Chain A
């Protein structure tokens, strides 16, 4: 069973914002809501780095842990989705998320905060796959169509990789070996855990006592 993950290669991202545009167009995302965005560090300085950021579909998702109405769920493929019919728009997930993924559309005359909206890994929501209701609430369900997220599939430099975690990690590893640099994967450890996390604590060796 595939375990879906995103990787953004900071060595390749050229800040073209094609992923952002693809996402907005694919899902008819309303004004003021950006499911994906490009962040540039040291903008304008030689050596600047850009990364494309959205929901990383964490293995141990903090949004899921803090939601008071339990509207989040993990699919079998590890995609973090939510039910907008249950969401109350409280915003707790927004504070918990390390990636700033949850977005809140402003509704009505007084700018009331609407129900949370975020990247779905192009996997829709709990409505029937490919239905009109699913499209209205969550956008296209490309995964059910046998496709991958639009942002990753149309990335011109292939900086953004999305798909089965083992495969995208292998693609990235091959790149790093070929170019000999840029092995840091931003957000990977935060979203999917580090190798040492979850391992039992190592016993501390006792210091030799002086006699």
Chain B
């Protein structure tokens, strides 16, 4: 009797083992927002208006030129 119970429990346990498997379906890559679309105005640069592509371009040009110390020294 005991071996029969043991075999029954073992079979049931092996059948339930698959229940712990995670689903392995591939997830596609998410689409990104445009760079000028900001949801958090708390940290935006002073004078920059988020949500406008032209404003972002102008801001980008200004910040990049700020790395040119010749603008200050010459």
Q: Which residues of A contact B (CB under 8 A)?
A: 1-2, 69-71, 73, 75-77, 81, 83, 85-86, 123, 125-131, 140-141, 143-148, 152-153, 155, 158, 161-164, 167-168, 171, 174-175, 178
Contacts and interface: CB of A to CB of B under 8 A. Distances in A.
A103 B44 CA distance: 29
B33 A147 contact: no
B24 to A, nearest CB: 10
Contact of B29 (A70, A75, A140, A146): A70
B35 interface: yes
B29 A71 contact: yes
Interface string B38-71: 1110011100101000011101110111111110
Nearest to A160: B67
Given A145-B43, A167-B64, 4 more contacts: A75-B35, A145-B45, A161-B64, A163-B64
Given A153-B67, A163-B63, A130 B39 contact: yes
Nearest to B44: A145
A167 B31 contact: no
Contacts of B57: 1-2
Nearest to A135: B40
Given A2-B57, A131-B40, A148-B64, A143 B35 contact: yes
9 contacts: A81-B32, A129-B38, A144-B50, A145-B40, A145-B45, A146-B63, A148-B60, A162-B67, A174-B70
Contacts of B28: 86
Interface residues of B, number: 34
A128 B34 contact: no
Contacts, number: 109
Contacts of B50: 144-146
Given A69-B26, A71-B29, A163-B67, A77 B61 contact: no
A143 B34 CA distance: 10
B63 A86 contact: no
B45 A129 contact: no
B15 interface: no
Given A2-B60, A86-B29, A171 B68 contact: yes
Contacts of A86: 26-29
Instruction: Name which of B28, B29, B37 has the most chain A CB atoms within 10 A of its CB.
Output: B29
B62 to A, nearest CB: 9
A33 to B, nearest CB: 22
A176 to B, nearest CB: 12
Contacts of B31: 126
